[in-house]
Amino acid sequence: MFSKRRALLAIDQGTTSSRAVVFQPDDDPVAIAQREFQQIYPRPGWVEHDPDVIWATVRATAREALAAADKAGWRAEAIGITNQRETTLVWDRATGEAIHNAIVWQDRRTAERCAALRAEGHEAMVTGKTGLVLDPYFSATKIAWILDHVEGARARAEAGELAFGTVDSWLIWKLTGGAVHATDATNASRTALYDITANRWDEDLLDLFGVPAALLPEVRDSAGDFGVADKAVLGREIPITGVAGDQQAAAIGQVCLAPGEMKSTYGTGAFVLINTGDKPVRSSKKLLATIAYRIGGKTTYALEGSVLSAGATVQWLRDGLGLIAKASEIEALANSADPDSGVYLVPAFTGLGAPYWDAEARGALIGLTRGSGRAEIARAALDSSVHQTCDLLDAMAADGVEALSLRVDGGMAANDAFLQRLADLTGIEVVRPVSIEATAWGAAFLAGLGCGMFKSLEAGRALWVADRRFAPTTDTARREADRKGWHAAVARVRSDTV
């Protein structure tokens, strides 16, 4: 009988789609399935997902990818999960049904609660324990909102009848038929309930945010045993042996394994992570100290800057304004723009992320003239992600953390003009790998590590290959003028300056 070759299944559950990728052990995809799903906007600044749709798209894409891989002679031996982080679900332990829509990481409904906690002087304690700022981005206030707005939920949570999870926990629960309620250290570190140096859920934080401990999942290493996907779910039993939040998975996929190694992922948002080794860096510029991964009980940390809208800005041009029919059209359109138009787009659709953390800021197009058109708006949209990345790198430099190059991945990394502009305005080399599937590959690699297919994280270095390097070409004066224009535009939309 023909023996199938060993492979790994990555489940990549993102903000706008669910994807499943079956990888060979050398980082080469053999099967990919993807399904987009609807975003739910109940009110301005609110963003939700239907938990059942998340699960249905994950199950469908996983089965599709597994079937295609099986037909091509590959057999997935383990599953790695990577997920949109901070997005919050609460479900009934008995039925497995969510009690409310998932509240997405972009959602700003708890901004007033965060502002009140900040005014009461709690931010220093939160930041000291979690490495995070007090912002509705994180899970803690989202959990409390669900408990306080779904009838009877708080009492049921205190009685142990309900479970909380970020998307990874929800998927582990569903895949294992409710046998495992767990998360990994990277996802736990994004809840604002987890002490990242003590590596445990923190009682003071639970009390502050009003979250019963009975809700919480067990926190495990990023590579290891997360149970077994039930045969009824995927057609056969497959162990789940790797889990990480999407940005940490991308950092692993980009082999940012030593202090100073940095990556930036351009998906719905944009996220810059730089490895800081075995100690978290406490930022003076509102960047986030976070867990990069925990392997064999040893924690490695990262410094992170979060941009709330990157690919989402391109999606808005397509779906909101109708300026393009598909995202791939933006490169040619932006390239036809007048480079001296002076048009800036600040995409604060759900507020501004790091280093501003202004939940009340709202987006604006600034610098329009009668000569401005579709091309100038498209260029400004791409430039907005470049400028926000520059803001993060400037903040990191102010914290004493710098990198000589930037490894990039995500959908926007396929755009050469965007990456050249990124190099020009950051002033550092931008490197795109052969495979821009860094997030999914990071999850698959962790699964391979967890099941023994790989012996160490360092095994990933030999598999990473650069595709193209983009060197800065813009002179300093032009760069400074562009940045000055951006800062002026941001000042116009800040809630404390308008």
pLDDT tens, residue by residue, 98-133: 999 999 998 989 999 999 999 999 999 999 999 998
Please name the residues in contact with 385: beta carbons below 8 A apart, sequence gap of 6 or more.
Answer: 266, 270, 307, 310, 313, 412, 418
**pLDDT greater than 60 at residue 419:** yes
Query: Is the bond preceding 433 in cis, omega lying within 30 degrees of 0?
Result: no
pLDDT tens, residue by residue, 170-219: 999 999 999 999 999 999 999 999 999 999 999 999 999 999 999 999 99
Confidence bin at 3 (pLDDT 50/70/90)? low
Q: For residue 106, what pLDDT is reported?
A: 87
**What whole-number distance in Å separates Cα of residue 4 and Cα of residue 137?**
43
pLDDT tens, residue by residue, 470-486: 999 878 888 888 899 99
Q: For residue 71, what pLDDT is reported?
A: 92
- Per-residue H/E/C for 293-337: EEECCEEEEEEEEEECCCHHHHHHHHHHHCCCCCHHHHHHHHHCC
pLDDT tens, residue by residue, 230-285: 999 999 999 999 999 999 999 999 999 999 899 998 888 898 999 999 999 888 88
The sign of the torsion formed by the CA atoms of 247, 274, 251, 464 equals: positive
Q: Which amino acid is at 232?
A: A
pLDDT averaged over every residue in the chain:
92
**pLDDT greater than 80 at residue 436:** no
In eight-state DSSP terms, residue 98 is B
pLDDT tens, residue by residue, 319-349: 888 888 888 888 888 888 888 888 999 999 8
**pLDDT greater than 70 at residue 498:** no
What backbone phi and psi angles, to 5 degrees, belong to 105? Answer: -55, -30
- 3-state secondary structure at position 186: helix
Cβ atoms of 15 and 270 within 8 Å: the answer is no
Q: For residue 497, what pLDDT is reported?
A: 55
